[in-house]
Chain A
Amino acid sequence: MSDAVATRPVDAFVAAVRAGAAGARILGAGLASFAVDGRAPSVAVFAGSIDDVQACLREAHRRRLAVIPWGAGSHMALGNEPAAYDVALVCTGLQRLVDYQPADMTVTVEAGLPLAELQAMLATERQFVPLDPPGRDVATIGGALAANAQGSLRHTAGTARDWLIGLTVVQADGTLVRSGGRVVKNVAGYDMSKLYIGSLATLGVIVEVTFKLAPRPAASTTLALACDSPHGAAMLLFAARDAGLAVEAAEMLAPAAAAEICGAARWSALVRAAGGASAVGRSVRELRENAAGMQADVREVDAATAWPAWRRRFAGRPVMLGLSVLPSRVADAAEALDGTIENATISCTVSAGVVRAACDATDDAAARAAIAAAREVARQHDGATIVGAAPAAVKRDADVFGPTRNDFPIMRRLKHELDPQRILAPGRFVGRL
Chain B
Amino acid sequence: MTRDVVRALERALGRERVIASAEELIAFEYDATIERGQPQAVVFPDSTEQVSAAVKVAHRYDVPVIPRGAGTGLSGGAVAAVGGVVVALTRMKRVLEVDAVNRLAVVEPGVVNLDLSRAVSPFGLYYAPDPSSQRACTIGGNVAENAGGPHCLALGTTTNHVLGCELVLADGTIAQIGGRSRDVAGYDLTGAFVGSEGTLAIATTITVRLSRLPESTRTLLAIFDTVDDASNAVSSIIASGFVPAALEMMDRNIIRAVEPMLHCGYPLDAEAVLLIEVDGLEESTAEQAEAVAAICRANAARELRLAVEEADRALLWSGRKASISALGHLFPNYYVLDGVVPRTRLPAVLRQTYEIAERYGFAVANVFHAGDGNLHPNLLFDEREPGVTARVLEAGAEIMRACVAAGGSITGEHGVGLEKRDFLSWIFGEDDLRAMAGLKAAFGAGEQYNPCKAFPTHHGCGEVTQAQVQRAAAAVGADLYV
A binds B: yes
Asked if residues B191 and A194 are in contact (CB atoms below 8 Å), the reply is: yes
Query: Which residues of B99-149 are within 8 A (CB) of A?
Result: 99, 101-103, 124, 145-146, 148
Q: Does chain B have a CB within 8 A of A101?
A: yes
Q: Does chain A have a CB within 8 A of B47?
A: no
Chain B residues with Cβ under 8 A from A191's Cβ? 146, 159, 191-192, 194-195
User: How many residues on chain A are close to B (CB under 8 Å)?
Assistant: 83
Chain A residues with Cβ under 8 A from B152's Cβ? 185
Asked if residues A411 and B435 are in contact (CB atoms below 8 Å), the reply is: no
Q: Roughly how many angstroms separate A245 CA and B212 CA in the complex, as a whole number? A: 11
Tell whether A275 pairs with B156 under 8 Å between CB atoms, given A191-B192, A386-B183, A402-B185: no
Asked if residues B280 and A353 are in contact (CB atoms below 8 Å), the reply is: no
Q: What's the nearest-Cβ distance from chain B to residue A148, in Å?
A: 8
Query: Which residues of A89-112 are within 8 A (CB) of B?
Result: 101-106
Which one, B20-28, B219-227, B300-308, B410-418, is touching chain A? B410-418
Q: Roughly how many angstroms separate A63 CA and B431 CA in the complex, as a whole number? A: 22
Query: Which residues of A239-285 are within 8 A (CB) of B?
Result: 241-246, 275-276, 278-279, 281-283
- When each residue 180-196 of chain B gets 1 if its CB lies under 8 Å from chain A and 0 otherwise, what string results? 11111111111110111
Q: Does chain B have a CB within 8 A of A61?
A: no
Partner of B102, one of A159, A326, A429: A326
Q: Does chain B have a CB within 8 A of A189?
A: yes
Q: What's the nearest-Cβ distance from chain A to residue B434, in Å?
A: 8
- When each residue 187-229 of chain A gets 1 if its CB lies under 8 Å from chain B and 0 otherwise, what string results? 1111111110111000100000000001110000000000000
Q: What's the nearest-Cβ distance from chain B to residue A343, in Å?
A: 24
Chain A residues with Cβ under 8 A from B184's Cβ? 324, 384
Asked if residues B438 and A430 are in contact (CB atoms below 8 Å), the reply is: no
Asked if residues B344 and A190 are in contact (CB atoms below 8 Å), the reply is: no
Asked if residues B181 and A417 are in contact (CB atoms below 8 Å), the reply is: no
Asked if residues B284 and A182 are in contact (CB atoms below 8 Å), the reply is: no
Chain B residues with Cβ under 8 A from A127's Cβ? 241
Chain B residues with Cβ under 8 A from A326's Cβ? 99, 102, 180-181
Tell whether A189 pairs with B280 under 8 Å between CB atoms, given A105-B238, A183-B341: no
Which one, B6-14, B31-39, B367-375, B467-475, is touching chain A? B367-375
Asked if residues A279 and B283 are in contact (CB atoms below 8 Å), the reply is: yes
Q: Does chain A have a CB within 8 A of B462?
A: no
- Write the chain A residue with the least CB distance to B216: A244
User: How many residues on chain B are close to A (CB under 8 Å)?
Assistant: 87
Q: Does chain B have a CB within 8 A of A186?
A: yes
Asked if residues A158 and B160 are in contact (CB atoms below 8 Å), the reply is: yes
- When each residue 424-452 of chain B gets 1 if its CB lies under 8 Å from chain A and 0 otherwise, what string results? 10011101111110111111100000000
Chain A residues with Cβ under 8 A from B189's Cβ? 195, 407, 410-411
Of the candidates A101, A102, A161, A195, the one having the most CB atoms from chain B within 10 angstroms of its own CB is: A195
Q: Roughly how many angstroms separate A190 CA and B439 CA in the complex, as a whole number? A: 8
Query: Which residues of B158-209 are within 8 A (CB) of A?
Result: 159-160, 169, 174-177, 180-192, 194-196
Q: Does chain A have a CB within 8 A of B239?
A: yes
Asked if residues A413 and B373 are in contact (CB atoms below 8 Å), the reply is: no
Asked if residues B191 and A189 are in contact (CB atoms below 8 Å), the reply is: no
- Write the chain B residue with the least CB distance to A166: B409
Asked if residues A407 and B102 are in contact (CB atoms below 8 Å), the reply is: no
Chain B residues with Cβ under 8 A from A214's Cβ? 243
Asked if residues A185 and B238 are in contact (CB atoms below 8 Å), the reply is: no
Asked if residues A187 and B145 are in contact (CB atoms below 8 Å), the reply is: yes
Query: Which residues of B332-377 are within 8 A (CB) of A?
Result: 340-344, 369, 372-374
Asked if residues A187 and B288 are in contact (CB atoms below 8 Å), the reply is: no
Q: Does chain A have a CB within 8 A of B215?
A: yes
Partner of A177, one of B146, B182, B281, B435: B435
Asked if residues B431 and A187 are in contact (CB atoms below 8 Å), the reply is: no
Q: Does chain B have a CB within 8 A of A178?
A: yes
Asked if residues B416 and A189 are in contact (CB atoms below 8 Å), the reply is: yes
Chain A residues with Cβ under 8 A from B283's Cβ? 276, 278-279, 281-282
Q: Roughly how many angstroms separate A328 CA and B283 CA in the complex, as a whole number? A: 29
Asked if residues A411 and B187 are in contact (CB atoms below 8 Å), the reply is: yes
Asked if residues B432 and A179 are in contact (CB atoms below 8 Å), the reply is: yes
- Write the chain A residue with the least CB distance to B373: A183
- When each residue 216-242 of chain B gets 1 if its CB lies under 8 Å from chain A and 0 otherwise, what string results? 000000000000000000010011011
Chain A residues with Cβ under 8 A from B188's Cβ? 161, 194-195, 197-198
Chain B residues with Cβ under 8 A from A175's Cβ? 431
Chain B residues with Cβ under 8 A from A409's Cβ? 175
Q: Roughly how many angstroms separate A159 CA and B439 CA in the complex, as a whole number? A: 22
Q: Roughly how many angstroms separate A282 CA and B281 CA in the complex, as a whole number? A: 9
Q: Does chain A have a CB within 8 A of B157?
A: yes
Q: Does chain A have a CB within 8 A of B407?
A: yes
Chain A residues with Cβ under 8 A from B181's Cβ? 324, 326, 352-353
- Write the chain B residue with the least CB distance to A186: B409
Chain A residues with Cβ under 8 A from B396's Cβ? none
Q: Does chain B have a CB within 8 A of A303?
A: no
Chain A residues with Cβ under 8 A from B439's Cβ? 190, 192, 195, 414, 417
Asked if residues A195 and B238 are in contact (CB atoms below 8 Å), the reply is: no
Q: Does chain B have a CB within 8 A of A74?
A: no
Q: Does chain B have a CB within 8 A of A406?
A: yes
Q: Does chain A have a CB within 8 A of B408?
A: yes
Q: Does chain A have a CB within 8 A of B214?
A: yes
Q: Does chain A have a CB within 8 A of B479?
A: no
Asked if residues A401 and B185 are in contact (CB atoms below 8 Å), the reply is: yes
- Write the chain A residue with the least CB distance to B455: A189
Tell whether A183 pairs with B176 under 8 Å between CB atoms, given A177-B435, A191-B195: no
Q: What's the nearest-Cβ distance from chain A to residue B452, in Å?
A: 16
Asked if residues A187 and B413 are in contact (CB atoms below 8 Å), the reply is: yes
Q: Roughly how many angstroms separate A386 CA and B179 CA in the complex, as a whole number? A: 15
Chain A residues with Cβ under 8 A from B424's Cβ? 188-189
- Write the chain B residue with the least CB distance to A176: B431
Q: What's the nearest-Cβ distance from chain A to residue B132, in Å?
A: 15
Asked if residues A278 and B287 are in contact (CB atoms below 8 Å), the reply is: yes
Q: Roughly how many angstroms separate A296 CA and B201 CA in the complex, as a whole number? A: 50
Q: Does chain B have a CB within 8 A of A391?
A: no
Q: What's the nearest-Cβ distance from chain A to residue B338, in Å?
A: 9
Q: What's the nearest-Cβ distance from chain B to residue A294, in Å?
A: 18
Q: What's the nearest-Cβ distance from chain B to residue A243, in Å?
A: 8
Chain A residues with Cβ under 8 A from B169's Cβ? 410
Chain A residues with Cβ under 8 A from B443's Cβ? 410, 413
Q: What's the nearest-Cβ distance from chain B to residue A11, in Å?
A: 30
Chain A residues with Cβ under 8 A from B195's Cβ? 187, 190-191
Asked if residues B428 and A413 are in contact (CB atoms below 8 Å), the reply is: no
Chain B residues with Cβ under 8 A from A410's Cβ? 169, 175, 177, 189, 442-444
- Write the chain B residue with the least CB distance to A202: B187
Chain A residues with Cβ under 8 A from B372's Cβ? 183-185
Chain B residues with Cβ under 8 A from A300's Cβ? none
Asked if residues B176 and A414 are in contact (CB atoms below 8 Å), the reply is: no
Asked if residues A181 and B438 are in contact (CB atoms below 8 Å), the reply is: no
Q: Does chain B have a CB within 8 A of A8?
A: no
Asked if residues A384 and B185 are in contact (CB atoms below 8 Å), the reply is: yes
Asked if residues B442 and A414 are in contact (CB atoms below 8 Å), the reply is: yes
Chain A residues with Cβ under 8 A from B442's Cβ? 410-411, 413-414, 416-417
Q: Can you sample 13 A-B contacts with CB below 8 Å?
A: A127-B241, A158-B182, A185-B413, A190-B439, A191-B146, A194-B191, A195-B187, A324-B181, A324-B183, A326-B181, A386-B185, A410-B169, A417-B439
Binding site for A on B (CB under 8 A): 99, 101-103, 124, 145-146, 148, 152, 156-157, 159-160, 169, 174-177, 180-192, 194-196, 212, 214-215, 235, 238-239, 241-243, 280-281, 283-284, 287-288, 340-344, 369, 372-374, 407-416, 420, 424, 427-429, 431-436, 438-444, 454
| New A-B pairs, 7, CB < 8 Å, besides A158-B160, A246-B284, A281-B283 | A161-B159, A182-B407, A184-B372, A189-B416, A197-B191, A324-B183, A405-B186
Binding site for B on A (CB under 8 A): 101-106, 125-127, 158-159, 161-162, 171, 175-179, 181-195, 197-199, 203, 214-216, 238, 241-246, 275-276, 278-279, 281-283, 322, 324, 326-328, 352-354, 384, 386, 401-402, 404-411, 413-414, 416-418, 429-431
State the 10 A-B residue pairs at the shortest beta-carbon distance, nearest first.
Answer: A194-B191, A417-B438, A215-B241, A324-B183, A103-B239, A414-B442, A401-B185, A278-B283, A413-B442, A279-B284
